[in-house]
Structure 1
């Protein structure tokens, strides 16, 4: 028995199909033979549908089964519903048969390891004829030269001719280990950060200036820029998170890197009312060349990663 047959609130395609076949043949036996199932199964599905509709759809005699006025009214709706279901199934079958070939993807190392690498196996299971070549790198890649289909980037900055699509939200926060905060104290406001060891994903000298914002009581945005100091400069976000857990200071981190450590108490959020503003933005952004967007496999992968419906 399927889940839909167990659920009293669900009208399944099996119920609709049984109803339509009985209406077509005016016989439960003939409908069962056509569907390749038993008479009892067909009768059960029709009874379930009648219970859902709270109406008798057939009048039954010893010789034949005929539609009631309620059944005659409902049969056209049922036919349209089954046609939509079958069209959707055919679209999916066609889509899967078309989806073949290789997709070259590049993504930031930490996000690729923590998030993307956990999702791509599901996509490959859904589309057995697809091959994915994934390159994890924090360096900007020349999409044309390296024949990249899909570049996933922290920064939304891209060439004008490229498609730029916000893909996955990223929250940024400040966090430190309990041991560090016990020793150095909990900051009460952004200005207090100047007296702490602070570090983040570092690329250039400007990364030592942090910008934080919050809404005041009048719903106005208040922004603060703070020059922070650090003895530790590193160009890998994973290393930033590890150093924070080891008590090196207050770290500026993406949420996907520290959510688990916060839950386990290895890290504590600092200044939770203030939201860091980074040059990396608030989303992982998909960057795609226009000609690569013409390929169904690339569009379907994009929709999959965005959590939407596949689109061929």
Structure 2
């Protein structure tokens, strides 16, 4: 016998209330119907889910385990139905989003028009800022943030894009100063970093299980990776920047990779996450936009 939603509802109702009568009243059916559906479910799973006596009903160990999965199954069915309903009706309303400046300019701004063409009835309000916004107070639906930004416990975080960091320099700089022989040699070079804090004066590089931290000289302090990339192309030194900023220059040879066998580890992390409240996540247009961002290739 196939397991039905009605069986699951009856089972979970009794599991929550430990009462057939209360479950029957909540579902608007007779007690015999609830008992029959629970018995059918027990036959279907091949296990006794309740221990029954004349006075009480309690979950068996098998029933406790199955209740967890039954609840997930009902939730998944509900989510699926809501998404199908959203497909049948056009998404609409205002969507307010905030994002880091550089990633917003280089990646997000390229993707938003595609989303708006797909959903012409949505109004999009985008604010690019590197500060951490209070999304509830400032009435944002979604804040796109670096993955290392610790959110408040009541917020929901969903990874939406990968970010890869690289070290690069101009051909002219490397021709004059040479490629570093290893991470330690970076201390002998002019280095350029996306600078916001004193800890950015040291670079952490990994290679497999090897981790090496190097204090690098930095005579150009700037909190914008676009400016760092421009300085590298001008031959001022070796830059540590995300690939979404420098990929074009790498492709056409204006910049060359430095120590490509080593992976930089920055305090900004390797992901952009969508941060929102549980209430805003239940809004179809917000969920749709988050899923849309997840479909993109690594940034």
Scaled by the length of structure 2, what TM-score is found? 0.69
User: What does residue 132 of structure 2 align with?
Assistant: 140
| Cα RMSD, aligned residues only | 1.8
Query: How far apart are the structure 2 equivalents of 1:300 and 1:249?
Result: 42
Which of these two proteins has the greater Rg computed from alpha carbons?
A: 1
The corresponding residue for 1:222 is 210
Of 179, 193, 196, which aligns to 2:189?
196
Residue of structure 1 equivalent to 2:263:
275
Instruction: Give the count of matched residue pairs.
Output: 215
Task: Give the distance between the partners of 1:112 and 1:94, measured in 2 at CA.
Answer: 27
Q: Check whether the contact 2:171–2:255 (CA below 8 A) recurs between aligned residues.
A: yes
Offset, 1:138: 1.1
2:95 to 95, 100, 103: 103
Q: Which residue is equivalent to 1:263?
A: 251
1:122 has 2:114 as partner: yes
Correspondence list, 1:117-196, <5 A: 117-156=109-148, 157-196=150-189
TM-score for both structures, normalised by structure 1: 0.66
Q: Which of 179, 202, 210 pairs up with 1:209?
A: 202
- The separation in 1 between residues aligned to 2:97 and 2:156, in whole angstroms, is 15
Q: Is the 8 A contact 1:96 1:127 kept in 2?
A: no
8 Å Cα contact 2:94-2:123 kept in structure 1: yes
- Residues of 1 paired with 2:137 and 2:242: CA distance? 30
SS of alignment partner, residue 221 of structure 2: coil
Aligned to 1:250: 238
Residue 298 (structure 1) aligned with residue 290 (structure 2): no
- Give distance in 2, aligned partners of 1:287 and 1:212: 28
What SS does structure 2 have at the residue aligned with 1:164? strand
Distance 1:244 1:257, change over 3 A: same
Following superposition, the deviation at residue 293 of structure 1 comes to: 0.4
2:274 aligned to which of 286, 291, 303? 286
Q: Is residue 86–residue 284 contact of structure 2 (8 Å, CA) maintained in 1?
A: no
